[in-house]
């Protein structure tokens, strides 16, 4: 063999050896940078039952492990408390070789009352992985309680009798049943035309999330949630075409929500609104409150004067506290050509046909009831970051005496 031939063979061998070393190095680097199977766990949300139930968490590997992988877990209290809302637990969960998933079951404690409260949360933490690494080390268990059917409130406050001299009780709703009487109440849905003419921001629903009865009270609940492009939901209910009255004493016992952008109201409209229109039909605002002024309520009559809107009203301010602290009774005494307004039997406004003047006086005709909690609008403005949701109006009773 010639010298040059031997040199050429040697060079080729060195080249192959160098290339092999590079491949080995690249393989080693790739293997070193490969973390192996990565383990994750996801949040779980589940409605709380009246009896015990199981919340199941899924843990997953992003790829199968050649050997069995395992991880330890433990539960951590949050707004959900162990022994009260869930059973405490620790342990180890394994994912067998060539598999990618396992589960962890947590026992949730039932609530026989089904109390409505903010959703409850706890955390499940993963530690000590074997034959895998942890990508997501914790997850939340969210116990959904915000739609519970039971909600109590302090019943303290003013109250009125069930009889008056010279009057008979002709109709009442004490809200003592489990649901609204559909033969009496309508639940309106939507945002009306231009936010019910007021540029209100809520979407009214017929859902028990927004209108329900509990513990002897009607509750209208305003929430910060998005429905049909609107960022708030609430409830608006009427007795239109079902219950309407002309004259008498009307008592409504209620506790009111307060906060910027809130507008609870207890009011009436003339039954001829579909033919006469507003304000010619007449509007009687038994009570309105603007949330930025929580210690003051307003009573107002609205009518049409020469085709224009006219009104007369006044307000009643508490000497201490606000209308969210206790129940108060909002009343009118309604007779021919005259309506007088009261809060806790204290007179603060009287409007008569004389105040309407030569305009048509519409308040000697039938009117129906409307209860609602508006969010936003021309008068109250929009909520801000200090407005806490959900906000609720509690109505203990409505009574009509004639």
Mean pLDDT of 382-387: 95
Those residues whose C-beta lies under 8 Å from the C-beta of residue 32, and which sit 6 or more positions away, are: none
Count how many domains the chain has: 2
Same domain, 179 and 261: yes
Domain end (from 108, 128, 144): 144
Distances (CA, A) of 51 to 77, 107, 110, 143, 171: 20, 11, 4, 13, 39
For residue 357, tell me if it sits in a domain: yes
Q: In this structure, what CATH number is given to the domain that contains residue 235? A: 2.60.120.200
For residue 178, tell me if it sits in a domain: yes
Same domain, 56 and 112: yes
Residue 214: phi and psi, rounded to 5, are -155, 135
Output the six-digit token pair for 57. Answer: 């968490």
Q: Can you tell me the distance from the alpha carbon of 266 to that of 325, in angstroms, rounded to the nearest whole number? A: 18
For residue 81, tell me if it sits in a domain: yes
Domain end (from 81, 110, 144): 144
- Active-site residue, from 283, 350, 388, 391: 283
Same domain, 137 and 202: no
Same domain, 202 and 334: yes
| Structure confidence at residue 66 (pLDDT) | 87
Q: In this structure, what CATH number is given to the domain that contains residue 55? A: 2.60.40.2030
Same domain, 54 and 126: yes
For residue 180, tell me if it sits in a domain: yes
Mean pLDDT of 96-117: 97
Residue 27: phi and psi, rounded to 5, are -65, -40
For residue 150, tell me if it sits in a domain: no
For residue 177, tell me if it sits in a domain: yes
Same domain, 140 and 173: no
- Active-site residue, from 288, 350, 388, 391: 288
Same domain, 125 and 173: no
Same domain, 295 and 330: yes
For residue 208, tell me if it sits in a domain: yes
pLDDT in tens, 57-86: 999 999 998 899 999 999 999 999 999 999
pLDDT in tens, 21-62: 444 444 444 444 566 899 999 999 999 999 999 999 999 999
Same domain, 256 and 380: yes
Q: 288 an active-site residue?
A: yes
For residue 76, tell me if it sits in a domain: yes
Same domain, 133 and 194: no
Is 362 exposed, middle or buried (CB count within 10 Å of its CB: 0-12, 13-18, 19+)? buried
Same domain, 103 and 193: no
Q: 221 an active-site residue?
A: no
pLDDT score of 4 more than 50: no
Domain containing residue 56: 38-144
Same domain, 116 and 240: no
Q: What is the pTM of this model?
A: 0.88
Domain end (from 144, 179, 213): 144
pLDDT in tens, 351-379: 999 999 999 999 999 999 999 999 999 99
Please give the DSSP secondary-structure letter assigned to residue 27: H
pLDDT score of 289 more than 90: yes
pLDDT score of 11 more than 60: no
């Amino acid at each position: 063999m010639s010298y040059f031939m031997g040199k050429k063979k040697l060079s080729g061998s060195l080249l192959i050896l160098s290339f092999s070393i590079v491949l080995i190095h690249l393989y080693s680097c790739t293997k070193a940078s490969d973390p192996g199977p990565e383990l994750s766990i996801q949040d779980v949300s589940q409605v709380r039952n009246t009896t015990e139930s199981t919340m199941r968490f899924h843990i997953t590997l992003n790829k199968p492990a050649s050997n069995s992988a395992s991880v330890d877990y433990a539960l951590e209290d949050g707004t959900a408390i162990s022994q009260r809302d869930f059973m405490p637990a620790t342990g180890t969960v394994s994912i067998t070789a060539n598999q990618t998933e396992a589960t962890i079951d947590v026992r949730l404690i039932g609530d026989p009352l089904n109390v409505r409260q903010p959703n409850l949360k706890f955390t499940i933490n993963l530690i000590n992985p074997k034959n895998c690494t942890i990508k997501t080390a914790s997850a939340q268990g969210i116990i959904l309680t915000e739609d519970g059917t039971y909600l109590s409130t302090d019943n303290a406050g003013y109250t009125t009798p069930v009889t008056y001299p010279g009057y008979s009780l002709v109709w009442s709703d004490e809200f003592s049943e489990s649901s609204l009487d559909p033969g009496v109440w309508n639940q309106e849905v939507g945002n009306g035309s231009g936010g019910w003419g007021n540029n209100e921001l809520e979407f009214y629903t017929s859902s028990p999330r927004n209108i329900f009865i509990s513990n002897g009270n009607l509750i209208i609940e305003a929430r910060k949630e998005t429905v049909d492009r609107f960022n708030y939901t609430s409830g608006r209910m009427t007795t239109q075409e079902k219950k309407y009255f002309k004259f008498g004493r009307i008592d409504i016992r209620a506790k009111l929500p307060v906060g910027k952008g809130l507008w609870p109201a207890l009011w009436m409209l003339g039954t001829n609104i579909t033919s006469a229109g507003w304000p010619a039909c007449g509007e009687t605002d038994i009570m309105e409150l603007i949330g930025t002024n929580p210690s003051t309520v307003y009573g107002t009559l609205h009518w049409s004067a020469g085709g224009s809107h006219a009104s007369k009203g006044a307000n009643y301010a508490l000497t201490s506290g606000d209308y969210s602290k206790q129940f108060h009774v909002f009343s009118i005494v309604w007779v021919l050509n005259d309506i007088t307004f009261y809060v806790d039997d204290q007179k603060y406004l009287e409007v008569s046909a004389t105040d309407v003047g030569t305009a048509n006086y519409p308040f000697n005709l039938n009117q129906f009831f409307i209860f609602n909690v508006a969010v936003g609008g021309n008068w109250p403005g929009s909520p801000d970051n200090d407005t806490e949701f959900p906000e609720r109006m509690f109505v203990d009773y409505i009574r009509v005496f004639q």
